[in-house]
């Protein structure tokens, strides 16, 4: 069972974001994420996750203690950067510190026994596409340049517990619970 906590922008924002990136010439050879799947991953849960109700209770506690806040999505980047990127994403500007605090609250509430292992620092972003092959020289930089003038804003007002169902055309997400930010 693959579970994670996420913040989803409103569906019209996700659709507009995807449509905007669909039209960029630099996307040739890249597989876009479905609009319904665009989200900010707050925390992955380990493979040993066997107690979704307990995790849902902790997500609800963290959400109820956190106030809604505005998030700005702007520009494009990748992990790792340049033509070696395996994931291309939309960056988070405004709202990044609040997302980081929310993430830290989840880590404390859930505890290390339920979170996936890894020492990567939290970097709030929205995955947009994955290369099918190595990017052409200059393609990553062209994508960043073409995406630069665009931005979106939305209110982060809920945490979601999500189960991922991998498939040949990409993953399908099932929301197991939604918890309003109410602090």
The continuous run of DSSP H or E covering 110 comes out as: helix 96-110
The span from the CA of 45 to the CA of 179, in Å, is: 17
User: What size, in residues, is the chain?
Assistant: 183
The span from the CA of 112 to the CA of 95, in Å, is: 25
Which residues are CB-contacts of 117 (< 8 A; sequence separation ≥ 6)? Answer: 46
**Number of Cβ within a 10 Å radius of residue 134:** 12
Catalytic residues: 39, 125
The span from the CA of 29 to the CA of 27, in Å, is: 6
Phi, psi of 105 (to 5 degrees): -60, -40
């Amino acid at each position: 069972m693959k579970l994670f906590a996420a913040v989803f922008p409103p569906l019209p924002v996700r659709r507009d974001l995807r449509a905007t990136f669909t039209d960029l010439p630099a996307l040739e050879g890249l597989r876009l994420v479905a609009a319904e799947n665009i989200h900010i991953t707050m925390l992955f849960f380990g493979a040993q996750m066997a107690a979704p109700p307990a995790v849902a209770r902790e997500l609800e506690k963290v959400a109820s203690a956190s106030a809604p806040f505005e998030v700005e999505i702007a520009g494009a980047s990748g992990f790792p950067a340049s033509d070696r990127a395996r994931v291309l994403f939309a960056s988070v500007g405004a709202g990044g510190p609040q997302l980081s605090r929310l993430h830290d609250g989840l880590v404390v509430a859930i505890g290390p026994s339920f979170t996936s292992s890894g020492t990567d620092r939290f970097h709030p972003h929205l995955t947009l596409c994955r290369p099918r092959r190595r990017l052409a020289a200059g393609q990553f930089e062209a994508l960043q340049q073409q995406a630069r003038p665009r931005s979106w804003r939305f209110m982060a007002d809920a945490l979601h517990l999500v189960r991922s169902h991998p498939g040949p055309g990409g993953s399908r997400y099932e929301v197991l619970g939604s918890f309003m930010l109410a602090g």
